[in-house]
Every structure is written in C-alpha cells, then in structure tokens.
C-alpha cells in the first residue's frame, strides 16, 4: 500500500516553497546579485546543517523508515568542506560560525532525531530534492555573479549521481513506498513546512549583509564617478 508521501509533500509544501523563493536574498541570487561574503556565510551555515542531518541519518541507518531515504550519494558535507576551504582558506574551521537561525535549525534536526526520527525525512526532502532540482542553475548563477572559474561550487556537484532526474524519481518512489499512516504523513509534511521556514530565517539573516554590501558598492561607484567628474571639471578650467 502506497503512502503517497511524495505527492503529499509536494502539494503540502507548495506555499512554503514559493514563500522561500520570494525572500529577498533568494530573489537577488536568482537575478544574479550575489555578494561573496554573504554567500560564504550561507555555505558555512549549510556545513553545520548538512553535517547534523547526515550524522543523524547515519545513526538511523537500520531504522525501518528513515533508512529508505538515507542515500549517502546525496551527502553534502565533504563538498561543503571543499567550498569553505576555497572561500576561507585552509584554516576555515577557525573562521566559520553558525548564525542564530542556523543554530536553531541544527538544534531542531538533533531534537527530532532523538524524539521522532521519521521527521528527518522532511529535512532530507526539503534540502536534497531542492539541491538536485535547481543545483545546476544556481551553480551557473554563482559562477557568473562571483566570477568563479576555479572552485567554490562543489556543493552543487553530485559526483556519484549520473542522472539527477532519474535519481529524483527513485527518491520519490522510496517516499511513496514507506508504510506510513495518515497521521505520520501529516507530521512529516508539517515538519517540511517548518524546514522551509528555517531556511527562510537563514536567508533573511543574510539580507542585511547583502543590502549593506550593495550599498557600499553603490557608494563607491558614485564616489568614483564624482571624483572623475571633479577631475574633468578642473582640467576644463
């Protein structure tokens, strides 16, 4: 008997998904406005979040439900370590800090792993399927916006997955085959909505950094223009 969980998650999180895409930081990213300092802070948060999620998924590798979606080829921890070394240097571990929103996110992952591990499905679904779905597009945007040509986008590369579209079909089939009752499915959908909310809070934290950086860039541009104008005026006189 199918739980139809994949469809329930898709329909049940549609509004939250749209809201997350409309957060200022994400909208700017999709339009190619990416500031490197803000982006590397996001990568730092992701490192702690994925590390926690993957540690907890691994703990439940024999769990009758959670084990069904514990695909290690999706794990992002190592790719995030590569990106952090690229952005911060070899001593990145001494520099990367978890933000307050990121800390709450990690705490929630640890909490449900201990109390109701089935809810880890919601976090796996929210992050990994999103990474597979839009990863290559976001990779291209990041490379162009930050002038990257020698690294910094390993997070979006799934070396052990040759066909991302086929893998998503496999993942959704695993969701549907889970022997879950209606109440448990509802709790997983609710948790997935909360996971989208946790991501939104992280993005909102970064908006301030991005706006400040854009403001500085605009100020510097205007200052250079005024300086050039003053020089031209003095020469004309």
Can you give the pLDDT of all 237 residues of the chain as single tens digits?
578 999 999 999 999 999 999 998 999 899 998 888 999 999 999 999 999 999 999 999 999 999 999 999 999 999 999 999 999 999 999 999 999 999 999 999 999 999 999 999 999 999 999 999 888 889 999 999 999 989 999 999 999 999 999 999 999 999 999 999 999 999 999 999 999 999 999 999 988 665 554 444 443 444 555 555 555 545 555
Within a domain: 216 = no
Within a domain: 223 = no
> Is-above-0.95 flag for pTM?
no
Within a domain: 115 = yes
Within a domain: 179 = yes
Within a domain: 143 = yes
Please state, in angstroms and rounded to a whole number, the distance separating the CA atoms of residues 154 and 156: 5
Please state, in angstroms and rounded to a whole number, the distance separating the CA atoms of residues 85 and 11: 38
Q: For residue 38, give its domain range.
A: 5-208
Please state, in angstroms and rounded to a whole number, the distance separating the CA atoms of residues 28 and 22: 9
CATH number of residue 102's parent domain = 1.20.910.10
Within a domain: 234 = no
Domain count within the chain: 1
In terms of C-beta density within 10 A (0-12 exposed, 13-18 middle, 19 or more buried), how is residue 87 classed?
buried
Alpha carbon 123 to chain centroid, angstroms: 11
Within a domain: 222 = no
Within a domain: 193 = yes
């Amino acid at each position: 008997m199918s739980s139809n969980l994949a469809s329930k998650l898709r329909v049940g999180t549609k509004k939250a998904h749209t809201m997350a895409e409309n957060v200022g930081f994400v909208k700017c990213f999709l339009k190619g406005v990416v500031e490197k300092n803000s982006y590397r802070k996001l990568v730092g948060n992701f490192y702690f979040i994925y590390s926690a999620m993957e540690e907890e998924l691994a703990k439940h590798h024999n769990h009758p439900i959670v084990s069904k979606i514990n695909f290690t080829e999706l794990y992002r921890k190592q790719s995030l370590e590569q990106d952090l070394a690229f952005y911060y240097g070899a001593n990145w571990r001494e520099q990367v800090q978890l933000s307050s929103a990121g800390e709450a996110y990690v705490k929630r992952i640890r909490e449900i792993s201990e109390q109701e591990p089935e809810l880890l499905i919601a976090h796996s679904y929210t992050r990994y399927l999103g990474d597979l779905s839009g990863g290559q597009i976001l990779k291209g945007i990041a490379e162009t916006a930050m002038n990257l040509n020698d690294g910094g986008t390993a997070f979006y590369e799934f070396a052990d997955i040759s066909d991302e579209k086929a893998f998503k079909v496999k993942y959704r089939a695993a969701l549907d085959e889970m022997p879950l009752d209606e109440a448990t499915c509802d709790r997983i959908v609710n948790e997935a909505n909360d996971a989208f909310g946790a991501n939104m809070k992280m993005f909102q934290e970064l908006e301030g950094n991005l706006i400040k950086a854009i403001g500085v860039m605009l100020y510097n541009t205007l200052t250079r223009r005024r300086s050039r104008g003053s020089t031209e005026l003095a020469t004309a006189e």
